[in-house]
Structure 1
Amino acid sequence: MTSNLQTCRAIARLMCTTTEQVLWDHYRHQLHPKADLACRAGSGRATYHRFDHRDRCHQITYGVRMVAAKQDPVTAAGWLSTREIRSRGYFGGTVSVLNLLAHTCTHEFAHLLQQHDGKRYHGSVHNRHFYELLDQLNDNGMAESVRRHLARSAHELGLPLDNQPMAFPSPGHQARRWQPGEAVRFGEGAAAREGIILRINRKTCTVDGTGRSRGLRFRVPFVMLSAVD
């Protein structure tokens, strides 16, 4: 596994190429004739699909720090992609670095198809229609094509994409890392916050906000917490 951001950026760019060459090339003729796709590697964790109605351009961003976070079971455990693979049985329910990143490509492309179908609503993004599309991409072999393309291309470029199943720490093990009264931070960029742990729950910590978050209280998954030095 690697946490080197330069390597992670190369992997994020490879995810862009894979999305364009496998998914977009397959579906583009079924979409609006003037629709276009632009994929990019972002500098943070944010990974998302966005649609510009004026230019009819879909944009998919794969965050470099998302790629880094999905290298480690401790930080990968909190991602929706991990839960989807395990709960919906994608790739046989096996979570590995390769499967996580391939699924991330498929997940974001399902949002593109959802947008095309007019089924993406404010406050209802991961809705029933989205998961029907995501299931279809897995059932019709496109997700596996993404996985194979990503693995083959990474091998050719000498980029590490581990395909060994991840062993996730138990919630109890994660809980023992934290103590009430400990100063922590969570979130990134403009959404970054700090606070003091008030209580340890089964899968989360209850955190009292400090600084600009003073007066607010949060339930934060263990995997999203980091200690304040």
Structure 2
Amino acid sequence: MSDSKSQARKLGELMCTVTEQILWQPAAGWVQQRASGSTLVCRVGSGQATYHRFEPQYQQHQITYGLRMIQAKHQADTASGWLSSREILKRGYFDGELSALNLLAHTCCHEFAHLLQHSAGQRYRGSVHNRHFYNILDELHESGSAKTTREALANRASEYQVPLSSVPFQLPDPALQPSPWQVDDTVVFDSGAREFHGEIIRVNRKTCTVDGTGQFRGRRYRVPISMLRRAH
């Protein structure tokens, strides 16, 4: 495994530890009142996909942090397409500063907010990032939980000597960046736990329009450029 991947995996493991110790432990009693016996398992996935899901058969919440997501959030050009970047900038989380540390700490809070949203019965099909979700995410930041998460992640990274920069960076102006994609390129992107395949039919400033291929034929998607990767 390359040094970059090894470091990203270690960071993912630290994100799991911080999520379980800093975010889950204080909230576990509240969650278990709503679904007796609820547990949380965090894991590091091999792709970009980063998500929360609930397995009712086992009363188990699962949070996955994607290895490629962790790598992407270390620099401005690959961090720009992620929702977490837009949330920090638009909602003023961590004083509106983007850095690898802020992005990864906020990712922990973002996914944990989905866990709390689900437990409160406020996650609906087709309405995931709704006002209920952002009320919860805002509260995690306003209550100091996000700051504690950030500090814990920074401390653990330092303890294990895993590089995690807190130096702020600016996102590049998309209007000045040439697109790496062209019409007819075949691409792959992740959504939740699934991997979708398709062909680009339109290249926009920040997104590409993708027609599904294979089992996804007949579907059309609008995908942030940073989420796309080439099909092999």
Q: Same fold (TM over 0.5)?
A: yes
* 1:183 equivalent in alignment to 2:189: no
Cα displacement (A) at 1:204: 3.1
Against the structure 1 CA distance between its residues 216 and 21, is the aligned structure 2 distance closer, same or farther, given a 3 Å change threshold? closer
What is the root-mean-square deviation in Å for CA atoms of aligned residues? 2.6
Alpha-carbon distance between aligned partners in 1 of 2:188 and 2:57, rounded to the nearest angstrom: 35
Alpha-carbon distance between aligned partners in 2 of 1:113 and 1:181, rounded to the nearest angstrom: 40
Cα displacement (A) at 1:92: 0.5
Against the structure 1 CA distance between its residues 218 and 157, is the aligned structure 2 distance closer, same or farther, given a 3 Å change threshold? same
Secondary structure (helix, strand or coil) at the match of 1:191 reads strand
From 154, 158, 162, the equivalent of 2:161 is: 158
Q: In the alignment, is the contact (CA less than 8 A) between 1:75 and 1:224 conserved in 2?
A: no
Aligned to 2:199: 195
Against the structure 1 CA distance between its residues 25 and 207, is the aligned structure 2 distance closer, same or farther, given a 3 Å change threshold? closer
Alpha-carbon distance between aligned partners in 2 of 1:205 and 1:55, rounded to the nearest angstrom: 38
User: Normalising by the residue count of structure 1, what TM-score does the alignment of the two structures yield?
Assistant: 0.86
Cα displacement (A) at 1:111: 0.9
Q: In the alignment, is the contact (CA less than 8 A) between 1:70 and 1:76 conserved in 2?
A: yes
Alpha-carbon distance between aligned partners in 1 of 2:51 and 2:107, rounded to the nearest angstrom: 10
Letter in 2 for 1:6: S
Letter in 2 for 1:106: C
Instruction: Provide the aligned length of Structure 1 versus Structure 2.
Output: 226
Against the structure 1 CA distance between its residues 14 and 182, is the aligned structure 2 distance closer, same or farther, given a 3 Å change threshold? same
After TM superposition, the structure 1 = structure 2 runs for residues 74-85 of structure 1, keeping only pairs within 5 Å, are: 74-85=77-88
Alpha-carbon distance between aligned partners in 2 of 1:3 and 1:75, rounded to the nearest angstrom: 19
From 94, 98, 108, the equivalent of 1:95 is: 98
* 1:111 equivalent in alignment to 2:114: yes
Aligned to 2:32: 32
User: Normalising by the residue count of structure 2, what TM-score does the alignment of the two structures yield?
Assistant: 0.85
Cα displacement (A) at 1:226: 4.9
Cα displacement (A) at 1:118: 1.0
Cα displacement (A) at 1:141: 0.2
From 129, 134, 145, the equivalent of 2:132 is: 129
From 50, 63, 72, the equivalent of 1:69 is: 72
Cα displacement (A) at 1:153: 0.5
Letter in 2 for 1:185: V
Aligned to 1:17: 17
Q: Which moved more, 1:202-211 or 1:101-110?
A: 202-211
Gaps spanning 5+ residues in structure 2: where? none
Alpha-carbon distance between aligned partners in 1 of 2:216 and 2:61, rounded to the nearest angstrom: 34
Q: In the alignment, is the contact (CA less than 8 A) between 2:52 and 2:64 conserved in 1?
A: yes
Q: In the alignment, is the contact (CA less than 8 A) between 2:196 and 2:216 conserved in 1?
A: no
Against the structure 1 CA distance between its residues 157 and 207, is the aligned structure 2 distance closer, same or farther, given a 3 Å change threshold? same
Secondary structure (helix, strand or coil) at the match of 1:187 reads strand
Cα displacement (A) at 1:151: 0.2
Cα displacement (A) at 1:194: 4.7
Q: Which moved more, 1:198-207 or 1:37-46?
A: 198-207
Task: Show CA shifts across 1:46-97 (max 9, x none).
Answer: 1111112232221111111111111222221111111111111100111110
Letter in 2 for 1:187: F
Against the structure 1 CA distance between its residues 55 and 68, is the aligned structure 2 distance closer, same or farther, given a 3 Å change threshold? same
Alpha-carbon distance between aligned partners in 2 of 1:180 and 1:47, rounded to the nearest angstrom: 26
* 1:143 equivalent in alignment to 2:143: no
Against the structure 1 CA distance between its residues 172 and 182, is the aligned structure 2 distance closer, same or farther, given a 3 Å change threshold? farther
